[in-house]
A and B are shown apart, each in its own frame.
Chain A
Amino acid sequence: MTEPAATVPAAEPAVGARSAWRTFFRQPSGLLAAAVLVVMVLLAVLAPLIADEPGGTSPDVLRSPSGGHLFGTDDLGQDIFAQVVWGTRTSLLIGVAASLIAIVLGTAIGLASAYFRRVDAVGTVVTDVMLALPTLPLMIMLAAIVNPSVWTLTVIIGVFAWPEVARLIRSQGLVVSAMPYIDGARVLGATGWRIVTREILPAVVPLIVVSVLLTASRAVISEAGLSFLGLGDPDAWSWGRILLNAQRSGVVAIAWWQTLFPSLAILLLVLAATVAGMRFNDIRDPRRNGA
């Protein structure tokens, strides 16, 4: 094989699962990132208890942040804090669901390419083509054609996010499938399906976990981008939609709170997911552990 060895020698996990998590939480950045993610999930789940669903109008138009309105109000007098909290629901939902679609597709194609040579020829070309496509303009086109809703957005984002996952899983799968125990399994008469699902898949699971986090954070950004361009679900609050409202109403220059808080929310979520993913990747790498 001429494939370079992937960074992760995964066949024999260097660290046991439990101690891996312990290492993960011992690092302040990992702990912090996980804490932010948990808070975000709680916000999303408990949104109805934290704030009323934004709606209606009030005379308190474009108020800056204060005790009554933590994040200020928009040009209809709606509370930005409530919009950000409810926006967490949409953003997280789309992030997680789209990343699941991408992971399932990407893992299936990646593993199939890694083990079956004939599939590899086609799979690699398709992956390369997908990676070469300008995804944002394509997503914009698709989102403009279909009726915008949370589900169509999820599918569009998920369908465009799988190639990175497929490539990652394939390169890891190639390393694993060249290992002697795979040859052993084959000699014992195991079918291709069994080898892929029982032998190779478990070896790449840590990589899948990392991919879920990274893909989800990219999906959140895609969703915010599409919503900001007016291609989001007009009935669901999302962070991108708060930004769009500010831009459309021409209040970006006078109401900094309407753009700052949703942007911070996006930043926090993406940063936390990325850091968590990186830390998780690190602890599986014995060269980084030093222990």
Chain B
Amino acid sequence: MSRTFSGPARRWRVAVALGATAALGLSGCGLNEGNSSSGDSSGGGDVLRIGTTTDVSNFNPLQSLSKTDSWILNAMYPHLLRIDENAKKAPELAKEYTYEDGGKTAVFKLRDDFTWTDGKPVVAEDVKFSAESIMKYKLGNVAAKLTWVTSIEAPDPTTVKFHLSQPYAPFAEGVGFWMSIVPKHVFESAGDLSKFANDSDWVGAGPFVLESATKGQRYVMKRNEKYPLAPGGRPAVGKVEFRLYPDVNTMMLALRNGDIDLMGTPVPASAAKTFANDSKIKLTKVGALGFAHLTYNMTNKDLAKQEVRQALSMAIDTKSIISSVLQGDAQQMAGPISPIFADYDNTEIQPYPFDPAGAKAKLAAAGYSDGNGDGLFDGLDLGVACDQSNANLTRVVQLFRESAAQAGIKLTNECVERNTFLSRTKEGEYDIDASQWGVFDNPMDQLRSTYLSSNPGGINYNLLTSPEIDQLINDAAATTDPAAFATKIKNIDKVVHEQAYLTPLYVENFQFAYNASKFTGFVASPSDLLGMVTAYSLAQVKPVG
């Protein structure tokens, strides 16, 4: 009878239920209920509590990093250069850099007052070791930026020389900003650095160093007593605690209730008025280093045609998207170079106007017709892929679909769950990719990684293979004269715009909310990746009163 196995069956059910509960518990325990006392025990007001949405997935600073990873690790491991409030490179560990040998050698001069938390000074050998490890194990996105390096020299403790196979204009900027410097004497003994977890006994030289990490809950960092970029040589805040709030609504409530002092993630444009009547909470606005865009898959037979791409660019009303979805808090763009790079942005080109009738005419001229009279061109059915968790882009795709229908173009909304979206992007399984570039620190690296057919950065989402574009980019990359370099970049900006390989949507402003009654002195950098939580900014923060 069926009764005989009800015993084991029940046990199985209990086991599975336990497993499921455990799994749910892991993902759901980040709500931080009732743990507000933990920070207060260690020195009252000088613990800065920052809200974040995701866990640290990787503690090795040489690997590719997610947002929370890079906030925490950038506060621990110095970089040669940083990006300041005006989106310019500023000195951090390096005092300055120069090019020698016709651009084939980049020389960094380091400060001599950075110290690892175990007492040893930060020296040129650490920089050499970090770069050589990245090249040896091909780690993270920095490996692509070191492509041209033939050898590295550290003639004295404050000088590092990178010898390059050919001049590459933004080499020092790119490597200086992106590469984390790790302590050679600690990492050397770890063996294979591509497998090194670095998840305990941290030694850093930034303003703060991790003290404890509780997955799903919090990451506590204590200050480095010797940090030369902090006023007075030491950060004013004793501890920084990152707390996990998987949902932005909860995080905003936590800030209002005083459970956290700063939201690491930006406040959504539509939600900014949450803090309108709160005198303690202040908002700081910064620009972006990336931008949102529609990128067309060139392997699609329709999208391979310039007229179709131009028609699509005319079938989306970016102005109204900016005023509605972003509440006016964004800038329009024309070509692929963001206006934040004022020296390289070609101001002669204009965005495609929103003109559904014009788009229709263009498609008709290209041979498309509407035989069945349904108002849509026959055989033109394109999918727009996006990440369901991105509030702005899901709205953009929804509006794009409506406006494209006016131009006779049938679009299918293919906004899917984040991981599915990422894997589809990687495999090139999309017609139109609606997504957001996070941080481009210079236009040359951007053009190389998005348009070169060799796809060195892995983000040529057009899947473009154009010898012409390759030639233009490689020619610009080897140009060392700044004026000629800028002219060449502006020309590429124009060519890409005419080809309409992408439709730039907007450069968004980010707003960060913090409790101004408790902390002050943040130095905000552009982009949501840097924002208020860069190493430099955290070192400048002081408690109020």
Contacts and interface: CB of A to CB of B under 8 A. Distances in A.
Contact of B247 (A128, A145, A247): A247
Given A2-B3, A76-B324, A254-B273, A248 B416 contact: no
A223 interface: no
A144 B417 contact: yes
A137 interface: yes
Contacts of A253: 249, 252-253, 271, 274
A188 interface: no
A55 interface: yes
B289 interface: no
23 contacts: A2-B1, A55-B398, A56-B399, A61-B324, A61-B327, A75-B270, A76-B324, A137-B20, A147-B416, A148-B416, A230-B417, A234-B414, A234-B415, A234-B416, A235-B401, A245-B391, A248-B391, A249-B268, A250-B249, A250-B391, A253-B271, A253-B274, A254-B271
A137 B413 contact: no
A124 B2 CA distance: 8
A254 to B, nearest CB: 5
B249 A247 contact: yes
Contacts of B415: 234
B252 A250 contact: yes
The DSSP consensus for interface residues of chain B is helix
A226 B412 CA distance: 20
Contacts of B253: 253
A195 B247 CA distance: 56
B196 interface: no
Contacts of B323: 57
Contacts of A249: 268, 270-271, 391
Contacts of A58: 324
A137 B402 contact: no
Contact of A250 (B12, B248, B402): B248
Q: Which 3 A-B pairs have the closest CB atoms?
A: A230-B388, A250-B271, A75-B270
Interface in B368-424: 388-389, 391, 394-395, 397-399, 401-402, 412-420
Most buried by A among B273, B320, B388: B388
A124 B417 CA distance: 35
Interface residues of B, number: 46
Interface in A52-77: 55-58, 61-62, 75-77
A235 B413 contact: yes
B267 interface: yes
Contacts of B273: 62, 254
A181 B19 CA distance: 47
A144 B423 CA distance: 11
B271 A251 contact: yes
A73 B370 CA distance: 36
A254 B273 CA distance: 8
A231 interface: yes
A56 B402 contact: yes
Interface of B: 1-3, 9, 12-13, 16-17, 19-20, 23, 247-249, 252-253, 267-268, 270-271, 273-274, 320, 323-325, 327, 388-389, 391, 394-395, 397-399, 401-402, 412-420
Contacts of B325: 57, 76
Contacts of B419: 144
A160 B20 CA distance: 16
Nearest to A138: B20
Interface string A230-254: 1100110000000001011111111
A234 B20 contact: no
A95 to B, nearest CB: 22
Contacts of B401: 235
A58 B401 CA distance: 17
Interface string A247-277: 1111111100000000000000000000000
A134 B23 CA distance: 11
Interface in A128-176: 128, 131-134, 137, 143-145, 147-148
Nearest to A127: B2
A230 B267 CA distance: 20
The DSSP consensus for interface residues of chain A is loop
A125 to B, nearest CB: 8
A61 B270 contact: yes
Contacts of A120: 2
B13 A132 contact: yes
B313 to A, nearest CB: 19
Nearest to A140: B417
Contacts of A131: 13
A1 B109 CA distance: 89
Interface string A37-60: 000000000000000000111100
A235 B291 CA distance: 25
Contacts of B389: 230, 248
A77 B324 contact: yes
A61 B329 CA distance: 15
A252 B2 CA distance: 49
Given A55-B398, A61-B327, 19 more contacts: A2-B1, A56-B399, A57-B320, A57-B324, A57-B399, A76-B325, A128-B9, A137-B20, A147-B416, A148-B416, A230-B389, A249-B268, A249-B271, A249-B391, A250-B252, A250-B268, A250-B270, A250-B391, A251-B270
Nearest to B402: A55
Contacts of B412: 235
A229 B389 CA distance: 9
Contacts of A55: 398, 402
Nearest to B249: A252
A144 B420 CA distance: 7
A128 B16 CA distance: 12
Contacts of B17: 134
Contacts of A230: 388-389, 417-418
Contacts of B270: 61-62, 75, 249-251
B20 A134 contact: yes
A16 B3 CA distance: 35
A132 B274 contact: no
B506 to A, nearest CB: 14
A280 to B, nearest CB: 28
B203 to A, nearest CB: 38
Contacts of B420: 144-145
A57 B392 CA distance: 13
A12 B418 CA distance: 55
Nearest to B15: A132
Contacts of B391: 245, 248-250
B55 to A, nearest CB: 19
B16 A134 contact: yes
A148 B417 CA distance: 9
Most buried by B among A56, A77, A124: A56
Contact of B9 (A2, A132, A251): A132
Contacts of B268: 248-251
Contacts of A248: 268, 389, 391, 394
Contacts of A76: 324-325, 395
B28 to A, nearest CB: 12
A245 to B, nearest CB: 8
Contacts of A251: 249, 268, 270-271, 274
A234 B394 contact: yes
A61 B1 CA distance: 63
A57 B324 CA distance: 6
A10 B402 CA distance: 54
Contacts of B2: 120, 124
B510 to A, nearest CB: 13
A128 B2 CA distance: 10
